[in-house]
Amino acid sequence: MERRLYFMLPDTEHALAVVNELDQTGVDPGRIHALAESTVALGDLPAASIRQINDTARRIETILWDGNLVVFGLALGALITLLVSGNLNAWLLVPLGIMLATFLAGLRFSRLPNTHLDEFRDALAHGEILLMVDVAEARVADIENRVHHYHPEAAVGGVGWGTRAFGL
């Protein structure tokens, strides 16, 4: 899975300089997405897709998290029903297994980085530009350090998960 790095930049000129720097370091330009208020011209910056603008990834995370909790709750209800009814047999393992699986999935899910666009709304409203850069997990520190070193005006906004699936 890829990681999405978020960088806030004061204007188009600075954002374009970061994009050019990333291009020179081997970051695929198709993995860089710029987002700004409609009043800010992006110029030659690669624009974010509609799904990225609408933060579809956040909705998917919410659906998966809520679904996981519902399945856990249903399995817990089934376990309690079996215990109350006195059916102490091998069927108790089914809800226990489901509960364990959803618990482990929740642990994994809670460890994914989860920066979202809501965190940048104020800066975007003030005319700043958000660059979203999708890189392999192994390159996160290198890219953050490079951008910070060569472009101190870029504020590192966090890390989230990224995927090419569904245009996210």
Q: Are 6 and 164 in contact (CB under 8 A)?
A: no
Residue 5 bridge partners (DSSP): 133, 159
Looking up residue 14, the CATH number of its domain turns out to be 3.30.70
The answer on 33 and 13 residing in a single domain is yes
Per-residue pLDDT tens over the stretch 36-52: 888 888 888 888 877 77
Q: How many CB atoms lie within 10 A of CB 57?
A: 20
Tokens representing 118 are: 């809501």
What pLDDT, on the 0 to 100 scale, is given for residue 163? 61
The answer on 152 and 121 residing in a single domain is yes
What does each C-alpha distance from 24 to 57, 58, 144, 164 come to in angstroms? 28, 31, 15, 22
Q: Are strands 32-35 and 155-162 parallel, antiparallel or unpaired?
A: unpaired
129-167 in b/e burial notation, b at 16+ Cβ within 10 A?
Answer: bbbbbbbeeebbeebbebbeeebeebbebebbbbeeeee
Per-residue pLDDT tens over the stretch 62-93: 888 899 999 999 999 999 988 888 877 888 88
Mean pLDDT (the chain) is 84
The answer on 48 and 122 residing in a single domain is yes
Return the closest-CA partner of residue 16 out of 108, 153, 164: 153
Provide the number of structural domains found in the chain.
Answer: 2
Return the closest-CA partner of residue 4 out of 109, 136, 128, 110: 136
The answer on 146 and 103 residing in a single domain is no
The answer on 45 and 14 residing in a single domain is yes
DSSP class of 48: P
> Residue 104 is part of which domain span?
57-110
The answer on 27 and 8 residing in a single domain is yes
What pLDDT, on the 0 to 100 scale, is given for residue 61? 80
Residue 151 has pLDDT above 60, yes or no: yes
The answer on 126 and 44 residing in a single domain is yes
The answer on 79 and 103 residing in a single domain is yes
The answer on 12 and 91 residing in a single domain is no
From 65, 83, 110, the end of a domain falls on 110
The answer on 83 and 94 residing in a single domain is yes
Q: How many CB atoms lie within 10 A of CB 69?
A: 12
Residue 8 has pLDDT above 60, yes or no: yes
The answer on 120 and 47 residing in a single domain is yes
| Interatomic CA distance for residues 152 and 132, integer angstroms | 17
What pLDDT, on the 0 to 100 scale, is given for residue 113? 60
| Interatomic CA distance for residues 45 and 17, integer angstroms | 10
Q: Are 2 and 162 in contact (CB under 8 A)?
A: yes
The answer on 28 and 18 residing in a single domain is yes
